[in-house]
C-alpha cells in the first residue's frame, strides 16, 4: 500500500522535536511516498521511529494535496491507560492493526499510538475527515487535528501489539459509535450525536449517523450525497432539513417474515449461545448483539432478550432508548460468521444465524439421544408386525424400524405362521427380493417373485428402447410398456441376437393371473 513515510529514524522525542520542520518539508516531496506492506509499515513506524502520514499526500501537506486515506491514527500522551484503551476497543469492535510506544513515552507518562487499517481506500476528503472524527470520538473531545488531513505522526520506539490482518469498516464504526453514545451520554445522547454530526459533516437523523453501505441504500431521489468506494454519506447542512429524513425508509431491506411456534425452551435448544445468555453466562457484547438481531424477527424473541437483559449488568445500558430499539428492529439478522467476537459454538453448529436455523422447515426437535437394547427392539418390532397383520380394519400401519433388526426373518415367520392369509411383500431391491423369497420358501411356504420388466430391458443393452419406456413410465402409461416392447421387437427383429430374442420372449410371455395361487408374492417398490 502507498504511504507517506519519512526515511529518517528517531529513537527519542528530543531530536525528533527539533526536526519537525525538516520532516514536514520531506513530506512535501514525492520521494516520501513508498509502497510498503502492512508488516513493513508496522516495523518502520512501531520500532524504527519513522514519521508517517495517515493520508496519502502528493506534493504537499495541504488538503489540496490529498489523494486518499486508508489509515486511521490515534495518539495518547499518558492521559489514557493502555488497558482502558484496549478494553474499549474490544467492547466496541475497534480492531487496530498495531499499537506502539510513542517517542515521548516515559515511566511517568506512558504514551502510546494506535494505527487502524480501513477495509477500503477513501478518496473523498469529507468522508476521510468524518472517519478520523468518528474514531476519535470514542476516546476524547474532537479537536482541530482530526480535520487536518495533512497531519503527520512521529513513529514509535517499540511495538506493543500487532494484528496485521485486522481491518475496520467506516459504517460499522458509525453504528458502534451510536451505541457508545447511547451508553455513555445518557439523556443527552441525541444532542451530543447531532453536535458530532456537525463537526464530522455527517447528517444525523433519528439518532443515527447517515452513513451506510451502498448495497443497503436506495440512492434514487437523493441528490446531496457522497458516494465513495461503496460507502454512502449524507452530508450535514446547516439550516437545511437533511435529505436523510427518510434514511431508514431509503434502505433496501428484504421483507423479513416473523417466525412463530417457538418458546424459550425450543429456542435455547436451537442455539447454545442463547442458552448461555438466558442462564446468566457472561457472553461478549458482540454476541448479545448477534442474538438480538435474530430474536427481534421471532415471535416472543424480543421480549425474551430484553427480559433477560434486565437481569444483567455492564455492557448494555438497561434503559435502552427508542432510537436504539428502532435501529435493532430495522436491522437484518446478523450472520454468526460476521460477528466480531466469534461464537464459541460456531464450528460445531455451522448455522448462518439463529434466525436461519429457526427458519428451516425440517427441525431437529430433540437433541437427547435415547438408546435401547437390541433384543428389546426385536421383540417390540415383532409385536407391532403381528398386531398389524391381525388387525381387522383396512388401515395402513406405519412401523418405523432400525436397519438390521431382523425384519426379513420376522416377515418369513409371519408368513409361515399365518396359514389363512396371503401376503404381498415389497422390498427396495431385486437382490433383497430374491433373498426374502428364498428365506420364505426355506420355511416350506410357496412363494413367487415378480420380475421387473424394466430390469430385464436393461439387460438388453438397448438405450433407445429404455428411453421410450422411460417416457411411457414417467407419464404413468405402465400398461403401454409391453406394446412398446413388442413394436420394437418387430421393427428390429433382424438386428437382435439370440440372447436378446430370448429376453424379449420372456418379457412378452403371458402369465396367469394370481401367480399360480401362491400364498406369498415378493415384489419390488418399482412395480407400484
The per-residue pLDDT for range 164-194, each reduced to its tens digit, is 999 999 999 998 998 888 888 876 778 888 8
C-alpha to C-alpha distance for 348 and 350, rounded to whole angstroms: 6
Q: Examine the pLDDT at 124 and tell me if it is beyond 90.
A: yes
CA–CA separation, 413 and 383 (whole Å)? 12
- pLDDT at residue 41, as a whole number: 95
**CB count, 10 Å around CB of 481?**
17
What domain range is 482 assigned to? Answer: 406-527
Domain match, 40 and 88 both: yes
Residue 475 has pLDDT above 70, yes or no: no
From 250, 278, 300, give the residue that closes a domain. Answer: 250
Nine cell digits for residue 490: 418387430
* Placement of cell 410398456 in the chain: 481
- For cell 410371455, the residue is 509
Are 6 and 131 in the same domain? yes
For residue 365, is it within any domain?
Answer: no
379 vs 381: CA distance, rounded Å: 5
Task: Report yes or no on 323 lying in a domain.
Answer: yes
Mean pLDDT on 389-401? 81
Q: What percent of the chain has pLDDT over 90?
A: 27
What is the C-alpha to C-alpha distance for residues 306 and 410, in angstroms, rounded to an integer? 57
Q: Specify the pLDDT at position 247.
A: 41
DSSP β-bridge partners for residue 115: 73, 98
Question: Is residue 35 within a helix (H) or strand (E), and if so which, with residue range?
Answer: strand 33-35
pLDDT of amino acid 312: 66
pLDDT band at 35 (very low <50, low <70, confident <90, very high): very high
**Pairwise pLDDT comparison (349 vs 32), residue with the higher score:** 32
Indicate whether 152 and 194 sit together in one domain: no
CA distance to 378, 401, 455, 521, per residue, from 405 (Å)? 6, 7, 29, 22
Look at the alpha carbons of 507, 510, 514, 517 in this order and tell me if their dihedral is positive or negative: negative
Residue-level pLDDT at 341: 82
| Inter-residue contact 447 to 437 (CB < 8 Å) | yes
Same domain, 284 and 395: no
Q: Are 389 and 426 in the same domain?
A: no
| Whole-number Å distance between alpha carbons of 79 and 85 | 11
Angle (CA) 170-172-176 rounded to 5° is 115
Residues 213 and 316 in one domain: no
Instruction: State residue 527's pLDDT score.
Output: 46
Q: Report yes or no on 258 lying in a domain.
A: no
Mean pLDDT across the stretch 124-141?
A: 91
First-residue to last-residue Cα distance in the chain: 68
Query: What confidence category does residue 477 fall into, taking pLDDT thresholds of 50, 70 and 90?
Result: low
What are residue 73's DSSP bridge partners?
Answer: 115
Rounded to 5 degrees, what angle do the CA atoms 452, 397, 441 make?
45
Residue 158: predicted pLDDT: 94
* Whether 214 and 195 share a structural domain: yes
Average predicted confidence (pLDDT) for the chain: 82
- Residue 340, pLDDT > 90, answer no
Q: How far is CA 260 from the centre of its chain?
A: 21
- Tell whether the model's pLDDT for residue 254 goes beyond 50: no
The band of 162, judged by pLDDT with boundaries at 50, 70 and 90, is very high
pLDDT in tens, 67-89: 999 999 999 988 889 999 999 99
- For residue range 397-406, what is the model confidence (pLDDT) as tens digits? 888 877 777 8
Mean pLDDT along residues 317-333: 53
**What nine digits make up the cell of 244?**
436523510
What's the whole-number mean pLDDT along residues 453-469? Answer: 75
Instruction: Indicate whether 161 and 23 sit together in one domain.
Output: yes
Flag whether pLDDT at 373 surpasses 50. Answer: yes
Whether 361 contacts 279, CB under 8 Å: no
Provide the domain count of the chain.
5
Could you tell me if 212 and 230 lie in one domain? yes
d(CA 495, CA 465) in angstroms, rounded, equals: 13
Please state, in angstroms and rounded to a whole number, the distance separating the CA atoms of residues 525 and 528: 6
**Which residue do the cell numbers 430370448 mark?**
502
Return phi, psi of residue 413, to 5°: -65, -40
User: Quick count: other Cβ atoms within 10 Å of Cβ 22?
Assistant: 11
Mean pLDDT confidence for 90-108: 91
Distance of alpha carbon 6 from alpha carbon 55, whole angstroms: 14
pLDDT at 476: 62
> 37: phi > 0 → left, psi -120 to 50 → alpha, else beta; which?
beta
What is the separation of C-alpha 175 from the centre of its chain, rounded to a whole number of angstroms?
A: 20
pLDDT average, residue stretch 468-478: 69
Q: Classify residue 65: in a domain, yes or no.
A: yes
* 240 in any annotated domain: yes
Domain boundary (149, 168, 187) is at 168
49 and 15 in contact (C-beta within 8 Å)?
no
**Exposed/middle/buried for residue 431 (C-beta within 10 Å: 0-12, 13-18, 19+):** exposed
Residues 521 and 417 in one domain: yes
Q: At which of 217, 250, 283 does a domain end? A: 250
Same domain? For 52 and 125 the reply is: yes
Query: Within this chain, do residues 205 and 345 fall inside the same structural domain, yes or no?
Result: no
Highest mean pLDDT among 6-10, 106-110, 421-425: 6-10
Amino acid at each position: 500500500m502507498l504511504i507517506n513515510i519519512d526515511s529518517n529514524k528517531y529513537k527519542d522525542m528530543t531530536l525528533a522535536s527539533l526536526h519537525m520542520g525538516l520532516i514536514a518539508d520531506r513530506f512535501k516531496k514525492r520521494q516520501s511516498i513508498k509502497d510498503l506492506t502492512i508488516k513493513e509499515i508496522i516495523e518502520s513506524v512501531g520500532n524504527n521511529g519513522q514519521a508517517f502520514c495517515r493520508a496519502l499526500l502528493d506534493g504537499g501537506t495541504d488538503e489540496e494535496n490529498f489523494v486518499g486515506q486508508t489509515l486511521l491514527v490515534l495518539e495518547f500522551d499518558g492521559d489514557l491507560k493502555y488497558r482502558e484503551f484496549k478494553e474499549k476497543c474490544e467492547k466496541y469492535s475497534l480492531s487496530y492493526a498495531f499499537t506502539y510506544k510513542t517517542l515521548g513515552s516515559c515511566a511517568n507518562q506512558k504514551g502510546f499510538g494506535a494505527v487502524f487499517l480501513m477495509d477500503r481506500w477513501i478518496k473523498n476528503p469529507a468522508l476521510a475527515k468524518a472517519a478520523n472524527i468518528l474514531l476519535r470520538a470514542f476516546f476524547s473531545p474532537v479537536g482541530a487535528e482530526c480535520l487536518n488531513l495533512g497531519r503527520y505522526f512521529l513513529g514509535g520506539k517499540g511495538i506493543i501489539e500487532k494484528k496485521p490482518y485486522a481491518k475496520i469498516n467506516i459504517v460499522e464504526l458509525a453504528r458502534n459509535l451510536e451505541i457508545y453514545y447511547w451508553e455513555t451520554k445518557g439523556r443527552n445522547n441525541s444532542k451530543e450525536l447531532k453536535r458530532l454530526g456537525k463537526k464530522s459533516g455527517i447528517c444525523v437523523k433519528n439518532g443515527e449517523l447517515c452513513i451506510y453501505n451502498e448495497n443497503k441504500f436506495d440512492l434514487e431521489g437523493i441528490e446531496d450525497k457522497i458516494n465513495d468506494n461503496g460507502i454512502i454519506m449524507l452530508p450535514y447542512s446547516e439550516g437545511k432539513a437533511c435529505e436523510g429524513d427518510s434514511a431508514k425508509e431509503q434502505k433496501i431491506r428484504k421483507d423479513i417474515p416473523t417466525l412463530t411456534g417457538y418458546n424459550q425452551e425450543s429456542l435455547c435448544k436451537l442455539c447454545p449461545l442463547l442458552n448461555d445468555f438466558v442462564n446468566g453466562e457472561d457472553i461478549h457484547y458482540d454476541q448479545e448483539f448477534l442474538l438480538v438481531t435474530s430474536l427481534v424477527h421471532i415471535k416472543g424473541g424480543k421480549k425474551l432478550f430484553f427480559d433477560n437483559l434486565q437481569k444483567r449488568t455492564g455492557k448494555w445500558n438497561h434503559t435502552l432508548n427508542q432510537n436504539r430499539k428502532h435501529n435493532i428492529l430495522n436491522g437484518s439478522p446478523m450472520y454468526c460468521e460476521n460477528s466480531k467476537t466469534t461464537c464459541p459454538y460456531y464450528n460445531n453448529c455451522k448455522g448462518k444465524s439463529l434466525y436461519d436455523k429457526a427458519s428451516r422447515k425440517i427441525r431437529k426437535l430433540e437433541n437427547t439421544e435415547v438408546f435401547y437394547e437390541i433384543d428389546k427392539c426385536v421383540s417390540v418390532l415383532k409385536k407391532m408386525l403381528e398386531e398389524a397383520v391381525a388387525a381387522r380394519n383396512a388401515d395402513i400401519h406405519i412401523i418405523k424400524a432400525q436397519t438390521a433388526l431382523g425384519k426379513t426373518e420376522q416377515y418369513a415367520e409371519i408368513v409361515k405362521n399365518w396359514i389363512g392369509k396371503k401376503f404381498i411383500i415389497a422390498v427396495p431391491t431385486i437382490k433383497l427380493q430374491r433373498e426374502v423369497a428364498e428365506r420364505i420358501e426355506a420355511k416350506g411356504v410357496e412363494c413367487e417373485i415378480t420380475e421387473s420388466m424394466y430390469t430385464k430391458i436393461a439387460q438388453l443393452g438397448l438405450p433407445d428402447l429404455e428411453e421410450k419406456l422411460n417416457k411411457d413410465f414417467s407419464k404413468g402409461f405402465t400398461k403401454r410398456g409391453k406394446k412398446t416392447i413388442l413394436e420394437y421387437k418387430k421393427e428390429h427383429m433382424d438386428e437382435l441376437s439370440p440372447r436378446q430374442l430370448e429376453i424379449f420372449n420372456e418379457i412378452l410371455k403371458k402369465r396367469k393371473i394370481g401367480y399360480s395361487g401362491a400364498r406369498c408374492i415378493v415384489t419390488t417398490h418399482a412395480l407400484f
